[in-house]
Homo-oligomer: A and B are copies of this chain.
Amino acid sequence: MYQPFNPTPRTLMGPGPSNVNPRVLTALARPTIGHLDPEFLRLMDEIKALLQGVFQTGNALTIPISAPGSAGMEACFVNLVSPGDKVIVCQNGVFGSRMAENVKRSGGQVILVEDPWGRAVDPEKLRKALHKHPDADIVAFVHAETSTGVKSDARQLCSLVREAGRLSIVDCVTSLIGCEVAVDDWGADVVYSGTQKCLSCAPGLSPLTMNERAVERIRNREKPISSWFLDLDLVMGYWAEGQARSYHHTAPVNALYGLHESLLIATEEGLQQSWARHHRNHLALRAGLEALGLALIVPENERLPQMNAVSIPTGVDEALVRRQLLQQFNLEIGAGLGALAGKIWRIGLMGYASRAENVLICVSALEAILSQHNANIHRGVAVDAVQAVYDAGQD
């Protein structure tokens, strides 16, 4: 017979989930009410308004999909891509590849614009692809590549797409709350995110937003969407206000309590303040890692503050280091994926986990463990380097 599950509390500095804010955990445990209860309908309306705030958009269609981020991604592609459609996908990591896979599954044809893993999407390559493929209606790219810690210039890319009269789908799973996501200002057409990164909410929901151009494209499509669960025509009805609301599925009530609380927390802190905090802690982490002699693989102006890709010192058993960090210090950092497996660690500083004490424990724990591995690191200087960044910031 099994026992109740009591997980060991961890410091979550991998690629996500990040640590969930205790206020959100408390919200998850509030009594479940019906998904047609007037109080719950009010909660849905508040969540829509709060999401519009953090996405910086006035889009009426701004809702959470009742499933994890990969379902949010799929919802965008399955609704917008009809069989035969050509879609330009900018690929510079795992999640660009997944976008391409989604296009294929929706019956679309992928035009791949490739950049190296660890580098941003090159706007010049996109410009050429737009020119070469005038019949490609949609352009998809990842704003914050979780697999490499790279931030692409979403504002510039969206503007190229808009100028060319195409429609953009932007993956902001890891960027939202951690750095600027300005949907309307960018002119982005479709943007989706997740809850388990900088929102510091439990994994399982996928906020998305679409403007009228995108909604029109869905309304005008000829072939019905292959998914019933992700059919945004039906989902929109479910999230409509007042009498227009129509039953679709049973909402994940408690998960939405958590999302509401995390959106409140983000709104209370303020977006600018949150981005500044993520940036400050990133600088402190970087200083500590560099003092140890470890290098970030992404060029400085393409780095995501919330996701840091670090070269593994030669001769070190990277999986063993991660196991030891977890066992000795309850600290989780992430491994590399795909082309970068075995070459990098991914250190997240997302949302509630983006904190000075987490920077300090990560740098100190790496120093302690790597010393045991006889890695060629500098000892005794990292903590001071971290502190110096915070001291400078307080001037």
Q: A5-B261, A12-B32, A20-B254 are in contact. List 11 more A-B contacts (CB 8 A).
A: A20-B31, A28-B254, A35-B203, A37-B332, A38-B326, A66-B68, A67-B67, A69-B249, A202-B255, A204-B252, A204-B253
Interface stretch, picked from A132-140, A226-234, A360-368, A382-390, is A226-234
* A242 CB within 8 Å of chain B: no
CA distance A12 to B33 in the complex (A): 7
Q: Which residues of B contact A25 (CB under 8 A)?
A: 28-32, 254
Interface stretch, picked from A100-108, A156-164, A291-299, is A100-108
Residues of A225-245 at the interface with B, using a CB-CB cut-off of 8 Å, are 225-229
Interface stretch, picked from A39-47, A55-63, A85-93, is A39-47
* A9 CB within 8 Å of chain B: yes
Interface string of A64-77 (1 = CB under 8 A from B): 00111111001000
- Are B50 and A30 in contact (CB-based, < 8 A)? no
* A343 CB within 8 Å of chain B: no
- Are B34 and A12 in contact (CB-based, < 8 A)? yes
CA distance A390 to B226 in the complex (A): 50
Q: Which residues of B contact A71 (CB under 8 A)?
A: 66-67, 71, 229, 249
Q: Which residues of B contact A248 (CB under 8 A)?
A: 70
With A105-B225, A249-B68 as contacts: A10 and B29 at CB distance below 8 Å: no
Closest-CB distance, A9 to chain B (whole angstroms): 4
- Are A39 and B226 in contact (CB-based, < 8 A)? no
* A78 CB within 8 Å of chain B: yes
* A315 CB within 8 Å of chain B: no
CA distance A257 to B19 in the complex (A): 15
Among residues of B, the one whose C-beta sits closest to the C-beta of A255 is: B204
Q: Which residues of B contact A107 (CB under 8 A)?
A: 226
Copies of this chain, count: 2
Q: Which residues of B contact A254 (CB under 8 A)?
A: 20, 25, 28, 202-204, 255, 258
- Are B224 and A105 in contact (CB-based, < 8 A)? yes
Task: Choose among A10, A26, A40, A227 the residue with the greatest number of B CB atoms under 10 Å from its CB.
Answer: A227
* A196 CB within 8 Å of chain B: yes
- Are A7 and B203 in contact (CB-based, < 8 A)? no
* A393 CB within 8 Å of chain B: no
CA distance A260 to B1 in the complex (A): 12
- Are B46 and A33 in contact (CB-based, < 8 A)? no
Q: Which residues of B contact A202 (CB under 8 A)?
A: 32, 252-255
CA distance A249 to B267 in the complex (A): 28
CA distance A5 to B28 in the complex (A): 11
Among residues of B, the one whose C-beta sits closest to the C-beta of A3 is: B264
CA distance A341 to B228 in the complex (A): 23
* A251 CB within 8 Å of chain B: yes
Q: Which residues of B contact A40 (CB under 8 A)?
A: 7
Q: Which residues of B contact A355 (CB under 8 A)?
A: none
